[in-house]
A and B are shown apart, each in its own frame.
Chain A
Amino acid sequence: MPSRQSIYCVASAGALFALSACASVSLKEASPAPAPVPTAAPAPPPPAWAQGRSDSMADSQLAPHAPVLTVTAHEKIAIDRIRVPPGFKVEVWASGAPGARMMTRADNGTVFAGTRAIGRVYAITETSGRREVKVFASGLTQPNGVAFKNGSLYVAAINQVFRYDNVEKLLDAYSSKSAHPVDMTPAFNLPTYQHHGWKFLAVGPDNKLYIPIGAPCNICEPPATNAQIRRYNLDGTGMEVVALGVRNSVGFDFHPQTGELWFTDNGRDWAGDEGPQDELNRVSKARENFGFPYCHALGIGDQDIKKANPCEGVTLPVVLMGPHVAALGMRFYTGDMFPPEYKNNIFVARHGSWNRTRKSGYDVVFVSVSPDGRNAQVTPFMTGFLDTSTNTFWGRPADVMQMPDGSMLVSDEQNGAIYRVSYSQ
């Protein structure tokens, strides 16, 4: 495990305890006696989301939004406010799943959805036309990542991985805790940092499990184990680092023609309303460097963590996704239901900003782009969750997933709902 001291913090004068703590120098300045180390406690968490906050923003009251942990009734969901292009239709596909985020679909049609704060994984089943939301797993630490392969569901919580074999057959047994998953945590041996430790999961065309390891801070020199995307054999062996300099990716997919990994990455906070923007990236060779913490967006050197030629050797994004928008789940569309221009192009859920005076995101955008990453264009697709006139929001898209019939599911963490987007001429 990397030592805590390997994280060099931003020495901001408006120092938080977190800052002074991880750069133990400034803590000593504050108090001549060494700080007592908590006894028998697990490794302390890393500095959090407020790192790198400049003096000019010391009085800012921007803070992450409250998660909604209670059920939002179906009739309370303002489906009529959602806007999609002509010919598309949106309906509430499932509700009553507080905090639903990342989705995967099993062979027989069960849709699983991970969460963060509420610690649950939902299973949404359909029997004789009746759809039902079940609490499949609970009490986990931010089980955001879900992926299905060979009859097994993989769930990634913060730095933990579980495998539920024969998951659709044993659904009720797992739900009632009379059957238990295989704890794969030792095999994957993930770093223990909490911040940005929630995971996205996907199985690639190479049959390997891809896992992002976020930077344990807003902005810092990350430990060598972090700010990267890894892949493993399904049993947790054979770890390889696929991409470096990745601040916090919570969404990726594989190009349907080239098989290459494409991923979203969230830009740093507290560097102003306009950026640095979130990114859509393409990995064309192993261990490619995407810039964090020195180089952001289309070649912006960091204001706090500096080095000469910060963007040298850095792969710049395919396209920018907007400032602070929290571009999360993304999928290539390969179905036949939507018009042909959508095929092999990308939908991205933008969860919506917190570190921005004027809120942005809170939508699903469409990115048309060549397989080699050129000619990228971002256009709004599913909007209406954000009211710019009042600077308020009512929904937060977190993930998108294509269904076998070519329709698309969109999870809304704020309302604990999943929408179905379909198209007919």
Chain B
Amino acid sequence: MRATFASLALVCSAALAQGGSPERAAKTIEICSACHGQDGNAAVSSTPSLAAQPETFLVSQMILFREGLRQVPQMASVFAKTSEQDLLDLAAYFSKQPLKPNPGVRDATLYDKGAALSKRGSCGGCHLADYRGREQIPRLAGQREDYLASTMIAYRDNKRSGTDTTMAGILYGISDPEIRALAHYLAHQR
């Protein structure tokens, strides 16, 4: 009995120390909501939707911003004074928001070209077959098309790296029209 209580206490304190709490995030959410949307669905151009992204991915990107390893003018110093617990809470909050994709009109030719490119690049191997992402690997399905395109261009041109250099390698040499097709196809996934 005592052992049960002890392990329960351990679990609780661990959760406090480690896990993110969507409820607690409420007080820090305004840092993000102006651009990324209160519910993580971004209405601002070239701004990623954070809703339904894997929690680990969101945490990793915030840490990369904090450490100056990922540089975007709008994000500079946003996290300089944010506690790690706040980052975890924000990630927990946004990862649990439903994504409401708004991809616009589907262009069948572009879509099919993107589908073929995704198959060729084995995008679904890491991002999973429905592109929902996992762990440090982001969700692509339903993301804003303009953001997907600009991100792939940044990876290709060595303007961005993730927690590793995988994407730069995968996208090396891909053309702008090919990126546009991929972005169109992925934005139209659900």
Asked whether any CB of chain A lies closer than 8 Å to the CB of B169, the reply is yes
The listed residue (A17, A35, A44, A119) touching B67 by CB distance below 8 A is A119
The listed residue (B122, B126, B166) touching A58 by CB distance below 8 A is B122
Q: Are A194 and B136 in contact (CB under 8 A)?
A: no
Distance in angstroms between the alpha carbons of A58 and B69 in the assembled complex: 32
Q: Are A69 and B156 in contact (CB under 8 A)?
A: no
Asked whether any CB of chain A lies closer than 8 Å to the CB of B32, the reply is no
Q: Are A17 and B18 in contact (CB under 8 A)?
A: no
Asked whether any CB of chain B lies closer than 8 Å to the CB of A76, the reply is yes
Asked whether any CB of chain B lies closer than 8 Å to the CB of A16, the reply is yes
8 Å CB contacts to B: which residues of A7-47? 14-18, 20-22, 24, 27, 30-31, 33, 35-36, 38, 41-42, 44-47
Asked whether any CB of chain A lies closer than 8 Å to the CB of B171, the reply is yes
Distance in angstroms between the alpha carbons of A15 and B120 in the assembled complex: 6
Interface string of B1-20 (1 = CB under 8 A from A): 00000000010011001100
Q: Are A17 and B14 in contact (CB under 8 A)?
A: no
Q: Are B67 and A71 in contact (CB under 8 A)?
A: no
Which B residues lie within 8 Å of A15 (CB)?
A: 120
Asked whether any CB of chain B lies closer than 8 Å to the CB of A50, the reply is yes
Contacts A35-B175, A64-B164: A72 and B18 contacting too (C-beta < 8 A)?
yes
Which B residues lie within 8 Å of A58 (CB)?
A: 122, 125
The stretch of B56-64, B73-81, B104-112 in contact with A is B56-64
Q: Are A22 and B172 in contact (CB under 8 A)?
A: yes
Q: Are A61 and B125 in contact (CB under 8 A)?
A: yes
Q: Please give the distance in Å from B141's CB to the nearest CB on chain A.
A: 16
Contacts A41-B157, A50-B170: A76 and B121 contacting too (C-beta < 8 A)?
no
Distance in angstroms between the alpha carbons of A120 and B68 in the assembled complex: 11
Which A residues lie within 8 Å of B10 (CB)?
A: 75
Interface size counted on chain A using CB atoms at 8 A? 52
Q: Are B84 and A21 in contact (CB under 8 A)?
A: no
Nearest opposing residue in chain B for A41, CB measure = B157
Asked whether any CB of chain B lies closer than 8 Å to the CB of A339, the reply is no
Distance in angstroms between the alpha carbons of A65 and B137 in the assembled complex: 10
Nearest opposing residue in chain A for B159, CB measure = A41
Q: Are A117 and B163 in contact (CB under 8 A)?
A: yes
The listed residue (A24, A44, A120) touching B168 by CB distance below 8 A is A44
Nearest opposing residue in chain A for B20, CB measure = A70
Q: Please give the distance in Å from B186's CB to the nearest CB on chain A.
A: 15
8 Å CB contacts to A: which residues of B103-145? 120-122, 125-126, 128, 135-137
Q: Please give the distance in Å from B61's CB to the nearest CB on chain A.
A: 10
The listed residue (A42, A48, A69, A120) touching B158 by CB distance below 8 A is A42
Nearest opposing residue in chain A for B126, CB measure = A63
Distance in angstroms between the alpha carbons of A151 and B163 in the assembled complex: 32
Q: Please give the distance in Å from A7's CB to the nearest CB on chain B.
A: 11
Q: Are B59 and A70 in contact (CB under 8 A)?
A: yes
Q: Are A138 and B60 in contact (CB under 8 A)?
A: no
Distance in angstroms between the alpha carbons of A117 and B135 in the assembled complex: 15
Asked whether any CB of chain B lies closer than 8 Å to the CB of A287, the reply is no
Which B residues lie within 8 Å of A31 (CB)?
A: 175, 178
Nearest opposing residue in chain B for A49, CB measure = B166
Q: Please give the distance in Å from B64's CB to the nearest CB on chain A.
A: 8
Contacts A16-B170, A67-B136, A69-B163: A50 and B63 contacting too (C-beta < 8 A)?
no
Distance in angstroms between the alpha carbons of A120 and B135 in the assembled complex: 22
Q: Please give the distance in Å from B82's CB to the nearest CB on chain A.
A: 12
Q: Are B67 and A138 in contact (CB under 8 A)?
A: yes
Q: Are B165 and A195 in contact (CB under 8 A)?
A: yes
Which B residues lie within 8 Å of A35 (CB)?
A: 173-175
Which B residues lie within 8 Å of A67 (CB)?
A: 60, 136, 163-164
Q: Are A60 and B125 in contact (CB under 8 A)?
A: yes
Q: List 10 A-B contacts (CB under 8 A).
A: A16-B121, A17-B172, A17-B174, A20-B120, A45-B158, A58-B122, A61-B125, A76-B14, A76-B17, A138-B68
